[in-house]
Structure 1
Amino acid sequence: MINVEQIVVVIDDDKSVCRAIKRLLLSVGIKAETFSTGEEFLDTLSSTAAYRPACVIMDFQMPGINGLELQCRLAPTRVPIIFITAHDDPTVRDKALASGAAGFVRKPFNAARLVKTVEIALGATPIPIERFVP
């Protein structure tokens, strides 16, 4: 079961992707907050001592701090990171996973796969896949 107090952070410079993931997560009972840049998220993280997301879903290629750099900065927090990207370069994927990423999902993403990846990162019991079948 997912702790309802847990917050999943979504970081993507494409606001429509942020909205879509937030709606998807809310539909399965996972609270989500969105950020347009890694810098915006880091500012919130550093300015609010009690703020600690349960998981971060982020785009790999963003203006400013890219996904790998942000992953390195977040490493001390041990927050699970799931990358989402339209540019699935096996070398980059392998580097991200070797650096501790909890998952790597290609855009356009499959809703069931993304939710299952988040649940695994949160240590939750996966929701049956039938819930996503139209």
Structure 2
Amino acid sequence: MVNLNQIVAVVDDDESVRRAIKRLLHSAGIRADTFASGDEFLSMLSSIPSYRPACVILDIQMPGTNGPEIWRRLASTGVPVIFITEHDDLAVREMAVASGAAYLLKPFDDTIFIEAVEMALGGTPSP
């Protein structure tokens, strides 16, 4: 079971993807904040030190600060990361797997996505 007070941060430069993921997470009872860029997300973290999402969903390829760079900056925090991408990148996939992050190709299966988020949040995936 997932703690409903936890917030998932969704960082993706595509508005329709952010909206769809937020809607999907909401349907599973998971709260989400969305960010249009890595820089917007990092700005939130630095301007509100108490803001700490329980999991971060990162698009790999974004203008400005990309997903892997955000992951490097978050590495010391222990916040679980789920990478999402339309363009499979072997080096990034290997880095994600080695670090314990999930790596999903768009479009991803909703059930698998929710299970990945639930596992990242420390819960048991829904049956």
Residue-by-residue CA offset, 1:92-124 (whole Å, 9 max, x unaligned): 2002222x2420000011100100000111111
Indicate the percent of aligned positions where both proteins have the same amino acid.
59
Query: Is it true that 1:31 corresponds to 2:27 in the alignment?
Result: no
1:1-134 matches, within 5 Å, as 1-98=1-98, 100-128=99-127
Name the amino acid aligned to 2:116: T
Residue-by-residue CA offset, 1:58-108 (whole Å, 9 max, x unaligned): 10000001111111011111100000000112222002222x242000001
Question: Structure 1: which 5+ residue stretches go unaligned?
Answer: 129-134
- TM-score, normalised to structure 1, is 0.91
CA distance in 2, matches of 1:127, 1:40: 32
Name the amino acid aligned to 1:80: P
CA distance in 1, matches of 2:109, 2:94: 20
- TM-score, normalised to structure 2, is 0.96
> What's the C-alpha RMSD, in Å, of the aligned pairs?
1.0
CA distance in 1, matches of 2:125, 2:66: 29
- Is the 1:25–1:31 Cα contact (8 Å) retained in structure 2? yes
CA distance in 2, matches of 1:62, 1:56: 15
Relative contact order (alpha carbons < 8 A, sep ≥ 6): 1 or 2 greater?
Answer: 2
CA distance in 1, matches of 2:84, 2:23: 16
| 4+ long deviations beyond 6 Å | none
